[in-house]
Amino acid sequence: MIPFDLSYHRPDSVEEAVATYRRLERDGRRPLYYGGGTEIITMARLGQVRTGAGVDLKGVPECGIVERRNGSLLLGAGLTLAEVCERGGWAPLADAAGRVADHTSRCKITLGGNLAGQIPYREAVLPLLLVDTVAVVAGEPGLRRERLADVFRATLRLPPGDFLAQLEVPLHEADGPHFAVKRTRLDWVDYPLMTVVGVRAGGRARIAFSGLCGYPFRDAAMERDLNAGRIQDAIGHIPGPVADDLHGSADYRRHVLAGVLQDALEVLRA
């Protein structure tokens, strides 16, 4: 049970969604956009988030789209992770999304919600960081296109009142095999020790990580060393403190990572 009252709003267009959010914000309602709502509901029950209004994006047509255009894949941010796996048509993203939580949860968690959520893993973003993905952002006066790399830095960073409507993935960039693995301490549906996703593009391995640090990342220095076969040097370039928690110590994560990277390079060089 959520321990506070909130109003529910379900706009049916981008313009109505943005206008509704801004009106509620002016009224002091502290609105939140949501798609699946799983994280918001959980955090509200724990007292970690509080809002006076929810703006449901599931009725916005642009957020539910799956289309191929000129070699790119256009995915609505309102698609559930289960829909991304079943309808998305890009194996690296399907493999990454398919390792988030369990099937019941994936039928509710949305692609945009995973990227924008406060839980730090955000595993669905990993393959999107490996190509020049375009974020289609809704705001005033409408939709605009930005490089995902410019709006996702550790987490999704958008101006208040804007929301992620779509992602445009250039499929032609990833021209070789891909690799995706999730390592956990106990059960595969547990939070990850690490999730690693890689693709081969232009004859080189591109690899992104979640669970190692407090945010998902792709790092140029690590990729340079990995493409030269220097796995330990790559591990030395992890761009932040390695997580050290109940799921696994920092040293244990580094140990597991060495084996994962060896497996990744064998696949990506095939």
Summarised one tens digit per residue, pLDDT across range 38-79 is: 777 777 666 767 788 999 999 999 999 999 988 899 999 999
Per-residue confidence (pLDDT) for residue 1, from 0 to 100: 60
**How far, CA to CA in Å, does 242 sit from each of 2, 155, 232?**
34, 17, 14
**Residue 215 in 3-state DSSP?**
coil
CA 143 to CA 177: how far, in whole Å?
Answer: 33
Q: Which of 91, 104, 155 is nearest to 125 (CA)?
A: 155
Task: Give the pLDDT score at 187.
Answer: 67
pTM: 0.94
Query: Which one-letter DSSP state was computed for residue 159?
Result: -
Torsion, CA 23, CA 28, CA 30, CA 31, rounded to 10: -20
Predicted confidence at residue 186, as pLDDT, reads 76
Positions in the chain short of pLDDT 70 = 1, 44-46, 48, 187-189
CB within 8 Å of 183: residues ≥ 6 apart? 192, 193, 194, 195, 256, 260
Sole residue written with tokens 């949860």: 105
Domains along the chain? 7-56 (3.30.43), 61-173 (3.30.465.10), 178-268 (3.30.390.50)
- SS3 assignment, position 132: coil
Which residues on neighbouring strands pair with residue 50, listed in sequence order?
A: none
